[in-house]
Chains A and B, each alone.
Chain A
Amino acid sequence: MYRIFLSIKYLSSRIIPFLAMFAVALGVMSMIVVISVMNGFIVQTRVIARGTLADLTVTPLVTNASQHYLDLIRTAPKVKAVSPHLVRQALVSTGFSGHAATTHKQLRELSFVTVLGIDPALERLASDFERYLANFEEVRDEIGDPRPWQVDDVKEPFSLETEDRRRAAYPKVVVGLELAKRLGIRKGTFVDLMTYAINDEPGVPLEDKFSVLHEKFVCAGVFRSGSFEIDLGFLYMPLEQLRSFSNAPKDDISEFAVTLEDYLFSDQAKEELQELFMTSQGATAIVETWEDKESIFLSAVDNEKRIMAVILFFFLLFACFAIFIILNMMVREKTRDIGILNSLGATFGGILQIFVMNALIISIVGATIGLVGGVLICENVNAIEQFLKNAFGLVIFKPDVYAFDRLPVDMRTDEVVTIIVLTIGLSAISGLFPAFRAARLDPVEALRYE
């Protein structure tokens, strides 16, 4: 009984233990917040790193055999859907001919985009594209009514109902929300695209090998994946339309996007497909999971989290060191009390527990405050960010730097528990040494201590 009683009395009559508590709280709080935000970043970054990548990407090495590839891939086990893509790079503007640009800036703005030629009927089975077309709920307060942005029919994304015959006549594209915002594109806006073609047939003079191609399109609607980069950098149009725009050879396919029944078995599915291409005649291909394609980037992000955890761990060590110092000071200051307690019959274990309990109280109270603070911050991180921006003009999070439109948080119970247990465990250990010193004091010496 006297142990806890004295612990509390000793702690509450001093200010320094509260500082240590504060340090522990700060350590735990920052650890929880930073790790959770890092988790969020990792989850989001994986989404972005994945971009429009399908579970598996098959890059054909033989041209003019797309149907053969399609049939072959479809026979593979574990494959749910496959969608052929034609991929081109292009410059996009609303202002080549000044039709739709609303400001001078937009008039001069050019954006570089990846153009994906897709077959909507196949793509909707193989990717999230169809979902992206009606994904405006989260940004309602920013864009207001989504109707001027949204396609008329997600099943037929490249069609536009319009009275205007000129608009009706042009081929249609679907652009990302961020690109649309940057260039002032809405449903029905004219969009100019510029791409190139290379003619490497023998005998063609050098100056004719490279040609710039230019065509006008009409925006049929906007998509939003939630990833800043995708929404800024991708533009969709029907596959055949891209083929004719870019002068691509007939039957040319850049890649096949393959969706699996279960991504858990992606490595196995990849091997099976590789096997299939090896044994089949006239259809060799590179098969990659999306993680293969982004492996370096993904491991870098994972590594970053580990580095942050280590840095913050040092902060925790510092807090534990503070506990160690404070307890040492207290043992020195309380030497005579220890002699008194001995004279009253306190045992070695009793004295030890008084001081270990001191460390535990500091760390448990500190960790609890840190936990509450950390959880509160995590749950309101976007509100806090908004508040700082509005009240002090403090911009903490720049969506264009981080490539997603809100601060992501992913608080994981196991990690939070680890942090708390680690903190309390480490503090108890830091308290153990001074506590041992206290308990081992010679009672007579302690009583003589002035």
Chain B
Amino acid sequence: MSDLRPSPESRDVVLEASGIDKSFVLGSQKIDVLKQASMKVYRGEILAIVGSSGSGKSTLLHILGLLDPPDAGSVSRLGKDLAALPRRERALARNAYIGFVFQFYHLIPELTAVQNVLINPMIRQSFVTYLKTRRRQKARALELLDYLKIGNRLQHRPPQLSGGERQRVAIARALIGEPEILLCDEPTGNLDRRTANEILDLIWRLNAERQQTVVIVTHDDHVAERAHRVVELFDGQFRRVETAPA
């Protein structure tokens, strides 16, 4: 039995988007970015989303991450449509299940590396709870930063860090919340080849060692090659590029 690999369909679905419509109105022009797009994210996989620029990859990622509600369709976790929730509950769900990593790192410039990581548990917990668990949270942040090989730049602020270092801090910030799913929007788009590979290695290591589910939007062929599964956004819909060798 153990040598029988489960087919993708029978594996755990972490997040499922179905029938997503999304359009933007610019002046008098209406752009339909997503048209009845559907896709699934399975537990423990690294899914790459590719597509030409402007095809709606970031838009889809924002919808998956509950940042942006779709015009139609659902984003469900365990059969529950999270996209239909009110704004506040979407925010709470986002904090609980989702970790974002952006192309431009998006760290808060006033905070040190550790503080940027700790802001995530601070948002999740009440004032009192946070103060009570502060020591443990800090230890976890340090451990994560260490794991991401940036344990030596803890007290530096983002402007004092290189791009690769900033992205490691951003990944640590996403991971400290132990998200079910890590959504990365071109995480290496702004990095040179070598640094990009280091970051990618980290992400793959996370997947291997911690079974982290990752969705990664990319232009980069290297990423797509390494991913378990690749889907392409084209004309507002997904088409499967390649089944993961698993």
Contacts and interface: CB of A to CB of B under 8 A. Distances in A.
B94 interface: yes
A343 B100 contact: yes
A300 interface: no
Given A2-B122, A336-B106, A9 B92 contact: no
Nearest to A11: B110
Q: Please classify how large the interface on chain A is, using the bins under 10, 10 to 19, 20 to 34, 35 or more.
A: 20 to 34
A10 B120 contact: no
Interface stretch (B126-134, B212-220, B223-231): B126-134
Contact of B94 (A345, A350, A442): A345
A391 interface: no
A1 interface: yes
B62 A444 contact: yes
A343 B65 contact: yes
Interface string A337-359: 10111111111111000000000
B106 A9 contact: no
A443 B58 CA distance: 13
Contact of A346 (B93, B96, B123): B123
A345 B124 contact: yes
Nearest to A340: B106
Listed residue (A10, A345, A442, A443) with the most chain B CB atoms within 10 angstroms of its CB: A345
B108 interface: yes
B67 A444 contact: yes
A13 B67 CA distance: 29
A336 B91 CA distance: 17
A81 interface: no
Contacts of A13: 110
Interface residues of B, number: 33
B95 interface: yes
A392 interface: no
A329 B131 CA distance: 31
B125 A342 contact: no
B205 interface: no
B88 A347 contact: yes
A345 B96 contact: yes
A265 interface: no
A346 B120 CA distance: 9
Nearest to A343: B100
Interface string B54-78: 0000000010010110000000000
A2 B123 contact: yes
Interface string B99-124: 01010001110110001000110111
Interface string B5-31: 000000000000000000000000000
B123 to A, nearest CB: 5
Listed residue (A2, A9, A344, A443) with the most chain B CB atoms within 10 angstroms of its CB: A344
B149 interface: no
Given A348-B87, A348-B88, A10 B124 contact: no
Given A340-B108, A344-B100, A1 B68 contact: no
B105 to A, nearest CB: 10
B93 to A, nearest CB: 8
Contact of A343 (B92, B94, B127, B131): B94
A1 B67 contact: no
Nearest to A9: B110
Contacts of A339: 106
A447 interface: yes
A342 B68 contact: no
A2 B130 CA distance: 9
A447 B94 contact: no
Listed residue (A4, A339, A343, A347) with the most chain B CB atoms within 10 angstroms of its CB: A343
A443 B68 contact: yes
Nearest to A2: B122
B34 to A, nearest CB: 14
Nearest to A336: B106
Interface of A: 1-2, 4-6, 9-10, 13, 336-337, 339-350, 442-444, 447
Interface of B: 62, 65, 67-68, 87-88, 91-96, 98, 100, 102, 106-108, 110-111, 115, 119-120, 122-127, 130-131, 173, 177
The 3 closest A-B pairs by CB, nearest first: A345-B95, A2-B122, A1-B130
26 contacts: A1-B127, A2-B119, A2-B123, A5-B119, A5-B122, A6-B108, A6-B110, A9-B111, A9-B115, A13-B110, A339-B106, A341-B119, A343-B65, A343-B67, A343-B94, A343-B100, A344-B95, A344-B120, A345-B93, A345-B98, A345-B177, A347-B91, A442-B68, A443-B62, A443-B67, A444-B62
Given A2-B122, A5-B119, 7 more contacts: A9-B110, A341-B119, A342-B91, A343-B106, A345-B92, A347-B91, A447-B102
